[in-house]
Structure formats: C-alpha cells, structure tokens
Structure 1
Amino acid sequence: MNAIIKKALAAVITVSFCSFGMIKAQDDESGATFNVQGDLVSSYIWRGMYQTGASFQPTFSFGIAGFSLTAWGSTDFDGYQASEGLANKEIDLTAAYTFGNSGLTLSVADLWWGGQGANKYFNFKSHETAHHFEAGLAYTLPVEKFPLSVAWYTMFAGQDKDAEGGQNYSSYVELNYPFSVKRVDLNVTCGLVPYKAPQYYTNGFAVTNVALKGTTAIKVTDSFSLPIFAQAIWNPRLEDAHLVFGFTLKP
C-alpha cells in the first residue's frame, strides 16, 4: 500500500507541475483551463468543525476534458501554538473526473494538515503518516430549477485509524443547494456523518454541518470587482456555531 500511495502522489505532483507551463493557454483550442486564486477568511471551518482562526487559502487548478487537478492550502496567521510560532498549515491535492453531462464526479484526495514544523510530509507509512487519503463521489441533479448536489466522501487510507490500528473508513455526506436572491448568490449546506467516525467526533449517525453562505461582489473600478462572502455555520453534534467572513482574490 505504501508503494502504491507514493507512486500515486508522485504522479499527481508531476502532472500538476507539468501543467504549470500551460498557464498561457487558459482557454485554448483543447479547452484546457488554469485557475489561480486566494481566499482570506476570518476563521477556517471544515465540515462544521473549527480548525483555526484567520487564514489565507490559495488554490490553483488545471482542468481539461472533464479531468481536473487541484492544489488547495490553508495557513493561519498566529498558529495553534502561537507561543512557539507554529502555524496551522494544510495542503490538499485532489484529482477528479466528471463524466460528461451526467452530473457525476469521482475524486481522490490527499488531505494533509500536519501543521508548520511537523515535517515528514513524505512519510507514507500506514501507521505513521499524517496524510488522509479520501475517495469521493458527487452527483448534481440534472434539473435546472432544482440543482441539488449530493456528495459522499470516505477516508480509505492514512492516519484515520482506530485504537487497534485498523482503518476507520470515516465518511461524510453533504447536500448543497445553490440559489440567488437579487445580487446575492446563496448556498444551503447540510452535512452529516452516517456512522461512527472519531475523525468527526461522532459515535454514530450525526448532523455536523448546517450552513448558509452568501456571495456577492463590491465594485472597485469599472474593470475590477472584489468577491466577498459570509457564512453562518452550525454543528448540532458539537453544539457549536460560527460566522465566517471572507473575500476572494483572482484574475
């Protein structure tokens, strides 16, 4: 398993770096796209769970013919151990394929949030690694007036282990429904854990993420607008709530 994981990650990284040379061909004849952007958020909440305070979250991705490679990261400003200057640092690599107009997307992701100073990023030993490897399947209803999407994610390898060292196969299911009101794009989210998953602090079925997000833009000049967003998030399982504000910088 370790050799397979190493080869898969090496392939993803190699293809990702090779695709950087295509930045000038954002919309060429082949339909290839390249995207670079960054979000600044007041706090980082992941699937209804607080991760850290104000953070900067860059994204770059490459896509062609239904296939995409995405690198996403998050780094806070003071860290979870501020006295020692160790920042909360996360790097996620995702490969995904969308099957034509079917609305179906299959993805495989490497999630790593070891933090600044953790090092050993390339340690993929099953019982030592800080990586979480996750498979996902998402489907969006082919109904223009009701574009509900449903996604299921399961951690199949990596750090997600039980006390005996076996894989937990922690899973998370999320429903999203986007709509608009005047100049604001809104999205309602409901996320749940279907069975016991220590990764999400659940002993069985639990709703962990109920959220409403609104996105709009502030016009700065005739040629530039700044996208801003606010999100209210509730975690019924942990009896916690969050209100997040952020903005996006992109070409």
Structure 2
Amino acid sequence: MNKTDISNVHRTNKIYWDENGNDFLAAIVLPAYGCNTLTETELNLFGDVAGKKLLDIGCGNGESLKYHGNNKANELWGIDISKNQLEKAAQCLSASGYAAKLICGAMEDECGLPLDYFDYIYSIYGIGWTTDLQGTFNRVASYLKKDGLFIFSWSHHIHMCVALEEGKAIFKNSYFNETWSERNLDGKEILLCSRKISTYVNALAKAGFVIEQLIEQTNDETLQLTGELSDWTKKSQMVPLTAIFKARKL
C-alpha cells in the first residue's frame, strides 16, 4: 500500500471514529472481546494486572482502560487515531478517578511510546484497522517487556466470507481474498482489509511472539438458544464471529 492509499484509509476511518465512536458498542469493550464471544471473566487471559503497565491500542472511549483501572493496574496508556475518542476516554477515566497517558496517532506509526516498558499490550477490535500489520506487530513487540503479553480480538475472517441464507451459511467471498474494500458501518463509509488467521499467526511469529491461546468459540449461552433467532445469532452458532489471540514476547 502506497502513502496516498494509507493516507486515504486513515482519513476515511478517522472521520468515522470522530463522528460516531464506540459508545454504543458494548460488545467491543472489556470484559467483552466481541459479539457472542467468551468474556475476560470466563477466559482470564490477563490474570492479575495489579501494579502492571498496560497499553490499549485503539482505546476508543476508554471503557476497557477503566476496566483495568478497576482491577488496580498501575499505569494506563492508550493510543487512538481519533482525537474525539481520546477526549471521551479522558472524560471516562477522570470520572472514575483514573489518570491515563493518551496519545493521538496511528498504531503503525512511531508515536513516542516507550520501549521495553509495558507488561501488557491489548486491543479490543482495534488491530484490524492497521494499514501495516507486520509493522504494527513489530512495534508492539518493541514496546513490551520480555515475556510481556499481547492480547487482541478482531472480526474472524471466516465470518466476513459467509452470509446466512434461508438458515444456511453460504460462502459469499473467498477466504483467501485480503484486499482492501469500502464497507458500510451504521450508514458511514469505512475502509478495511480482511486477513486470514494464518496472516495474523505468521506476522506474530515474525515479530518474535509465541501464541499461547487462540479462541474462536461462540459462548455457550448463544449456542444453546433455540426458536426465533436473529440472523446474526444463527450465524454465530455456525461460524466464529471473533478471533481472540494471546501471545507472549519471547
């Protein structure tokens, strides 16, 4: 992707987050990892964060940072491409009595974050917005201490390939297609690139991570639902909507 294309992606997506934000998306702030997925309460991927330093990539309105503040994290940091989102995050955290270092910038760019510093770096439905996955993972690795954890969730690529028709999951797009495309989210245009699970796995390995867990399953409550269900719920009973990665820096 050339500089012009990257600039267009950043501009388009920044407009969306400046104007909309994730105040209404409770499914993508901790303890949730995504719609109909297992939660942090069930998975315990972070463990005890008391006294630890954490960085949230794509921190949005700050609710996930507040979650860790409530669990006695020592330092809260966040980065987001949207200044408006960061203002919401600052208000959210201040109202709860927490201070955070919030940085406005793209995750794939050099933003002045300290090296070999963080115990945890995480992203709840943020990583997939990057225009440079390998570069982003390389930066994450540089910010983490040795043995530090990188935890993130994003829309599962198989979910983006499958549509529900007459109660059946039908492939509408190739799983191998990783091109950028325009999409509509709440009536607004965004630009995203779907990536195969193997793309994430290989990029993590190249950046010096070992994957400890990959979670794809829909939560049991959703799987057990019967009767008149929404297409979204039916689909989540057939294919994963979200992939959750837990990786450790070697």
TM surpasses 0.5: no
Larger fraction in strand: 1
Which fold has the larger relative contact order, with Cα–Cα distance below 8 Å and residues 6 or more apart in sequence? 2
TM-score normalised by structure 2 residue count: 0.31
Larger fraction in helix: 2
Whichever of the two has the greater Rg, that structure is 1
